[in-house]
Structures are given as structure tokens and as C-alpha cells.
Structure 1
Amino acid sequence: MDGVPHQGRRPVRRALRVGVPALLRVPVSARSEAARRPLVGITGRRFRLSLIEGSDERYGDRCVDTAMSDFATRVAEAGGLPVHLSYDTDPDAVCDWLAGVVITGGQDMHPACWGGDPSVVRGIDPRTDPMVHDRERDDYEVAVVRAALDRGIPVLGVCRGLQVLNVALGGTLVPDLPAGPVSHLSEECAPTDGTVDHLVSFEPGSIAAGLFDGDVVTNSWHHQAVDRCGVGVVVTGRTADGVVEAIEVPGHPVLGVQWHPEWMKSADPTLTWVVREATRLLERRSES
């Protein structure tokens, strides 16, 4: 057209054929397979980049969002699509997309969340010390739990995550477990299956009992625990000293475990469970 040689136009048309449509040439079977894999949201922490040794000091005041990669690895191995949940991700909006949620471990919940003693709170910015209380994280994870429960989304709470589940439903915590015959705050390094004294027994008929063949020895890194159960929450696992190790909400796909399944050396079925339940939810959604 307008004197442009036909040969000069061919590379442009060829570039269009090769370039943009290439994004659409994913086999239909592959797209269908991905659509059958549930999105599982995984919570984490936020802290300044300067806390990471060797990081560029020019960006030290910037924050990074992190989660232990073992969670994503286990979720992916079980057939799920793990996605990290930043504090900036609106809980209600993201739960409209998610089919499963994992609330991960970390620092103690702020006592103001459950009516505890505020004097234990230190005036330290959690962005500069990821082990101090982080009210922003607390509020975010509580909101995620409630949004997930409203939508019937399976929820797995791990260690701190179990406590978040309980607090989100109005429960309280034991602020500091006394020393006793069972080691709850282990000095062992991850991954580990724990020590023989940390034996968890489950209530017959519970989700947890259905996942494990009898009692199970687990790892343990916590000094707080469930005290009073929240609305609808029941205790389904304890150690011999009576400390709560598993909670559930009967009638709902909700499980909290006080140990770290992502750091068990042996196969632990809890992360597989949340992916399986998420897959079932995804299938029900597709049928409706």
C-alpha cells in the first residue's frame, strides 16, 4: 500500500504471527490441567531487606514479603498452586479466587488480639525484628481466616496459625507454657520429626485422627498454646501434658496443628489434606 513493497510488509506480518499469538499457543490440555489445580494462599511476614545478610545497602530500608518456601514446595507436591498472600492483598477479594488457605508460623500474636497482658509488648518495629509482635500481620491473618470461613474455603493453621484460627473465632491463648514433662520449645534444627516425648493423641472421628494412623510423634517449636476455644472450635489433639496440639471446627474444612508439618522429615498428611480439600471445593465450584 502507498508504494510500500509487498516484500517489506511480510516481516511485519510474520512478527505478528510469531509474537503475540505465541502466548495463546499453550495446549488446551495444559490449560485445563492448570484449571483443575487449586490456588492455595500462604501467609508470611514482612521485614526490611537490611535484615538479610549481604543485601544491597542501597535498598535496606525497603521491605520484603517472605514465607518459608517449604510450604509452597509441599503444596505444589500435593498438586496445588501455591500463592503468597501479601498484607496488601484484600482478604475478601483474594478469597474469591482462592480454594485453600495456609496460615503459617511465626512470632506471638499481639495480646490485644485476645485479651492478654499488653505489658509483654516491646516497642520495636516488627519490620526491623521479625520475631516481635506484628499487629498488622495479626489483623491481616485474622481477616483472611474469617473471609475463608465465610466462603467455605479449607484452612490449615500451622503453629502460630493454629492460634490465629482460635483467636479469629474469639478464643484465647496460654501466654507462656510452664516447663513440664513434654518438650514444646525444642532446640532441634529443622527438619526433624521431633522427640519421643512429644506424642500427640487425637480424638476419634476427627479430621486429624483420620489423617494419622493412631498417635504421632511430631516436632515442636512453641511456647504459647490454645487456652479457651473460640466459637465452634474443638480440641482434637493433645500431648500427654494436656497441651492443645490440634483444633478443628466441626462441619467445616478447618484444621489447626501446633507442630510444623512442612518441617517434618517423615511424610505428614496435613498439607496434602488442605490441597485435597481445596481441589474438592474447586470441583464443586465448576459444577455450580
Structure 2
Amino acid sequence: MAPVIGVTATLKQDVEQRDTRPLGTYVRADLDYVAGVAQAGGVPVVLPPFVEAAEEMVRGIDGLLLSGGSDLDPSYYGESAIPELDVTLPERDVFEMALLEHALDRGLPVFGICRGLQVLNVAFGGTLYQDLPSQLNPALIAHRQLYPKWEWTHEVELEEGSATREIMAVPSSRVNSYHHQAVKDLAEPFRAVGRSVDGIVEAIEHRNLSERWIVAVQWHAEAMREGDVGPEHRNLFKAHVAAAERHALKRAAA
């Protein structure tokens, strides 16, 4: 059987355009994440941010994909919010922290994208720049592009000998960029294996992938089309699905 990959969702509130009355709050997941998993041979399942069900959700999946989205509340890494912090969603933050804890307890392979990388770093004790231009350098390259999401805006150099470079099968990659936050202090279990030309951490992986399969990228790999760049972004999904399949087989044999 194909492995089941849980894809984290966010929340969106719709309003009636005529008088701006709220119609309700909806669970939302970008279809590109779902398609990325399915095209890699996995069975995607969207996980709504409902913390009371987090443990049971994890029981039904073989791998976890932490998707992109809103800023993470800086209280999770011991800081107060600065004015440049964007919207945070408390329901999503508490859900994903609990979900990740249960996933790690069960040894599930985890793939993080954009916010997902940031959640992983913070969950393991790292910190973030809340806003790159104001806290680091306003002259950084454009990490918040205005182009369509499938177009690349800068390159990422991948560390020689890293699993991420082996997975993507390229020494460097052209990537899109939709973030204003990034890793500041890297959590101890990880190594930074991809950086942009201005030094921003763009890819991390667990130091021992045979112990814990955790790979994360700061760009939106789900949106990169093979016709515009190479197949390296899809390779990330394939590697995650393959790791989830190995985990499922190991669990079935136990």
C-alpha cells in the first residue's frame, strides 16, 4: 500500500463581500502540497488544526508534511513580538507543536516547507528572525518575491555530502521565495545544508537521518514546476514518501 502523508492545513475566514459579515472559518490547504505528495506516490491526507485530535491523526499517517503559512508566535522561542511580525494563528501553532511531538514519538519521517522548517527549528530549541529586513539587513536579496510562485527568484547552494544535495541531485538550485522570517539560531539536532548567497539558511536536515528522517527547505518546493526548473524539487517529495514507506513497512513487520 502507498504510504499516507499528513499535510498540515491552515485556517481562512471568508466574508460576505457586500457587507463584510463573516461567513465562517474554513480549513485550507494549498492543492500544490497535495499534488506533490500524490505525484510522488503517497496518499495525501489534509490535517485540520484541531489540537484535541492531533494524537489520533498521527496514528493514521506514515509521514508528516509541515506546510507553509502564517508566522509562528515568537513566544515559542522566548521572544516578544516586534512590530514587523505578520499574522499569527494560535490554533495552528499549538496544533502543529502537538502534532510534531506525537509524530516524533512514533518515529514518522517529517518534511518541512517554509513555515514548516521554522516550526521544526523552534520545536527543537532554535530561534528565528521575526523579520529579516528589520532585524538583519534591509539590503538582503528578495526573500519575499512578487513573481508567481512557480518562478524562481534566487539560487541556493547545497552542502556537498549532505543528504539534501543527494536527494535533489544538484549542487545548487533555483528557488522561489515567500518568507520574511528565517533561522537565527539553528537547533542542535540539525545541520544547515543550504544557504542563499546572502547567507540565509534555506535547507536543514537532521544530523542522523537513519535515526530521524527530517528534511526541511525554506522555499516552496511544492510550487516549483519542472518545466521552469529541474526535477530536484519533486525529488524532495519522492524522498519523503520513500522514507514514509520504509517506516510503514518496518512498523508492519514489528
| Shorter-normalised TM range | 0.7 to 0.9
In 1, are the aligned partners of 2:7 and 2:67 still within 8 Å (CA)?
A: yes
Say whether residues 1:120 and 2:88 are aligned partners.
Answer: no
2:42 maps to which residue?
A: 80
2:161 matched to 1:176?
Answer: no
Residue 190 (1) aligns with residue 141 (2): no
Percent identical pairs in the alignment equals 35
**Which residue pairs with 2:12 in the alignment?**
47
SS at match of 2:15: helix
State the Cα deviation string for residues 13-41 of structure 1 (Å, max 9, x = none). xxxxxxxxxxxxxxxxxxxxxxx111100
Structure 1, residues 50-101: CA drift from partner, whole Å, max 9, x if none? Answer: 27x69xx99x442210100111111111111111111226222221221111
What secondary structure is seen at the aligned counterpart in 2 of 1:190?
coil
Runs of 4+ in 1 over 6 A off after TM superposition: none
- In the other structure, the counterpart of 2:68 is 105
Indicate if the aligned counterparts of 2:160 and 2:171 stay in contact, CA closer than 8 A: no
Contact 1:199 1:239 in 2 (8 A): yes
Q: Which secondary structure state, in structure 2, belongs to the residue aligned with residue 248 of structure 1? A: strand
Q: TM-score, normalised by structure 2?
A: 0.87
SS in structure 2 at match of 1:285: helix
Whether the aligned pair in 1 keeps the contact of 2:84 and 2:131 (CA below 8 Å) is no
After superposition, the C-alpha distances for 1:106-163 in whole angstroms (9 at most, x for unaligned) are 11111111122324388xxxxxxxx611122111112222221221111111001100
1:188-267 to structure 2, matched below 5 A, reads 188-192=147-151, 194-195=152-153, 198-212=154-168, 213-251=170-208, 252-266=212-226, 267=231
Query: Structure 1 unaligned runs (5+)?
Result: 1-35, 123-130
Instruction: Give the TM-score normalised by structure 1.
Output: 0.77
Residue 56 (structure 2) pairs with residue 93 (structure 1): yes
CA distance in 2, matches of 1:78, 1:235: 25
Q: Distance in 2 between matches of 1:119 and 1:159?
A: 20
Larger radius of gyration: 1
Q: Which moved more, 1:110-119 or 1:39-48?
A: 110-119
CA distance in 2, matches of 1:119, 1:183: 21
**Other structure's SS at 2:96 match:** helix
Task: Give the 3-state SS of the residue equivalent to 1:42 in structure 2.
Answer: strand
Q: CA RMSD in A?
A: 2.2
| Contact 2:129/2:181, CA 8 A, preserved across alignment | yes
Whose strand proportion is higher, 1 or 2? 2
| Correspondence 1:285 to 2:251 | yes
